[in-house]
Structure 1
């Protein structure tokens, strides 16, 4: 496909950059004092063909981060976007990139870096949906997929690459003929998490080989010291578009806790799922093993549960996400690999089965519900071992959480059934592992 396969539509609403009295400091736009009255994508400067794509996706009006970021991006400025989970960040960077691609079609035009495979596929879906009428080609470059097949995709020179840093470096070092020397746009989505996952070295390598003259968008839920350092290294006179306060949770989120003995966590979980039946749940577990075990337990009790964790293959992880998103499963048991950035629009309730060891992860977990102005509920299990961690969370969010009302007598009536389901889950796991002799033989 030639470079001009992207149908060229000159956006006649392009704005000229405004003068700035201070280019050596970050300019800041917030959703508070400078209230923005623009309500349509067209008024933001988005060209007609992309406005039509937004309409087809059901995007009737821009979200807060889109209102703040899109006009700035269309002026050609670098951006630091601080916004809560579910705020429409992908649209905030995808629309300006696609508009640039329309004006000047080019292969290997843009690179989007993400912390996880699932988020990469999700971003690609949105780019392809927004660019479906203009022939945009995307490539997802993540681990867990054959390098050779990815090399063949890269050889075709897609317009946009969405990648995890580690696998992208693999291709930059080993795939013959692959180069990003002509790159026009770099996006780092969930930048705080990219850095928390120890991708700093990979990001530094990428920054050294891509052009200095480029547009860079950095999006993050929190402005950590690592993100500030990256911003200084990667962005030039950026505009800060902040639409949420640090470590806040959304107003329409009802947050509760339950103080329970550790040995009865499964009983309380089943009781809550029964009480709130008909809702969709995302249940966070501290380990892959726990997510798998609880999913098996719930299935044995007739609850449509499915796990999502890092020890699953890429195909199984995507399959689990799709089943939950299509509502064929009402309960998703997840580790923190799924707690950030994924577009799962219908989560009614988040349950912290295992309390997060890092308080900031609480914000990201409960951000899976009450998205885009909808209401939602979160319930955190607090055992005798979790009191200090729970107090740190309350300090971080600046509020005392109320207790979720439960009837202990009714919960205790479930003990026998739940114990039987626990035994079943253990048996299934042991049968899948095989006998000790079989496990030894498999390692040879």
Structure 2
């Protein structure tokens, strides 16, 4: 394996990496950093925990230090939490060189963010929705983006879906043409939409796109040191099974992420576990941004040992203390399962992932096992019916109280109002689309 010096990383940046206890390049870093430094566009695919952020941050910072002028690069990523983590890493790498990083996400003052972009920070880390909103509302403040040298799409497989299509199109309109910038796409799951970019036309004067995809990536997409287990669980006792698992001898002190499919489920479980004296926090879209930030900080610091989250927490988050991932709900998309369980067993460490499987989940489990080419093992340590009965009584009581508290706090009412607002927005957008000509397909690289 080559050293950071051998692949072109300057001394000042090597020192910053060393301070972060990063001394040797990972395979994706060793492969992509030299090619990006040569000026090539890049598509990089590797499993979670492989160091993709450093793979694009190191060459960008290297080139920035040679000619720090204006907004040098922009990183787009699908979630606020991942954007915050990337911004933290950029800030840490540039701590000794006065690097200015602007975080542009929802839940914060758009006017303040717009004003700070106007001041031309060195790098902008953003979610597409908020950045697109600023571009539409304050176009004069984002003129500096027309001179960026780098565009990064992190978690590119998710960004290249219809969900982000319109916002990405808006963002692209305020960036330089592809011939005047480098475009870097990184992802843990190389989907057809990402892979198809290999065949796109390369503009005259640009070097061919460099493609790095881990050999036989699908065969090793789940880390070898990750235990994959399942528990057959009747639907009516899921909460009790979760409680037994979290308080059983194997995981009583373990740091754990519990994944669910809906915000209401996340909030309900948080309240139930809290009433059962488990140090717990939650992360979901119904929380204000400050509470989302505080939840992650509490979990990172160990003040809460259990994080209950929707798929907001499934992408890119690197929290080394996580020992266990529990799929309380089974995701519909097998790739979402891959991202969820990738929150543990990172960077060569061991970790466990256990799924609570109801009869309705069998088809989803079969699809997941086919996707990862691996069978899950049955976790059999919670089989004592009497133990479940004891848990059932305490959990049932806590669940009733949690539901009452949520009703009193108006959680369900807020959820319904938000759903109605989103429905009205969709109706408006669909009506507007009939009168607005669709823009041409975006050229990414």
TM class by smaller structure: 0.7 to 0.9
2:228 to 223, 239, 255: 255
Query: In the alignment, does 2:398 pair up with 1:427?
Result: no
Say if 1:350 and 1:435 are closer, same or farther in 2 by CA, change over 3 A.
Answer: closer
1:270 to 243, 266, 272: 243
Structure 2 match to 1:165: 128
Shift of 1:351: 0.3
2:9 match: secondary structure: coil
Map 1:215-226 to 2 at 5 A.
215-226=182-193
Structure 2 match to 1:149: 112
Query: In the alignment, does 2:171 pair up with 1:196?
Result: no
Query: In the alignment, does 2:218 pair up with 1:246?
Result: yes
Farther-moved stretch of structure 1 (171-180 vs 232-241): 232-241
- The 2-side partners of 1:54 and 1:253 are apart by 27
1:43 match: secondary structure: coil
- The 2-side partners of 1:197 and 1:424 are apart by 40
8 A Cα contact 1:280 1:330, kept in partner: yes
**Consecutive unaligned residues in structure 1, runs of 5 or more:** 1-36
8 A Cα contact 1:325 1:344, kept in partner: yes
- The 2-side partners of 1:233 and 1:419 are apart by 59
Map 1:190-339 to 2 at 5 A.
190-196=155-161, 198-211=163-176, 212-229=179-196, 232=200, 237-243=208-214, 245-246=217-218, 248-275=221-248, 276-339=251-314
Shift of 1:230: 5.1
Shift of 1:64: 2.0
8 A Cα contact 2:128 2:168, kept in partner: yes
Map 1:323-362 to 2 at 5 A.
323-362=298-337
- The 2-side partners of 1:213 and 1:433 are apart by 51
TM superposition score normalised by structure 1: 0.86
Structure 2 match to 1:369: 344
Farther-moved stretch of structure 1 (364-373 vs 68-77): 68-77
8 A Cα contact 1:115 1:197, kept in partner: no
Shift of 1:77: 1.4
Deviations along 1:280-319, whole A, 9 cap, x unmatched?
1000011000000011101111100111001111111111
Query: In the alignment, does 2:365 pair up with 1:394?
Result: no
8 A Cα contact 2:135 2:174, kept in partner: no
8 A Cα contact 1:155 1:178, kept in partner: yes
Deviations along 1:148-207, whole A, 9 cap, x unmatched?
111111121101011111221222222224222211111110011112361123323333
8 A Cα contact 2:135 2:170, kept in partner: no
Say if 1:435 and 1:79 are closer, same or farther in 2 by CA, change over 3 A.
Answer: closer
Shift of 1:330: 0.2
Farther-moved stretch of structure 1 (236-245 vs 186-195): 236-245
Shift of 1:209: 3.8
> Which protein has the bigger helix share?
2
Map 1:78-97 to 2 at 5 A.
78-97=41-60
- The 2-side partners of 1:227 and 1:242 are apart by 11
1:246 match: secondary structure: helix
8 A Cα contact 1:255 1:378, kept in partner: yes
Say if 1:411 and 1:435 are closer, same or farther in 2 by CA, change over 3 A.
Answer: closer
Shift of 1:226: 2.2
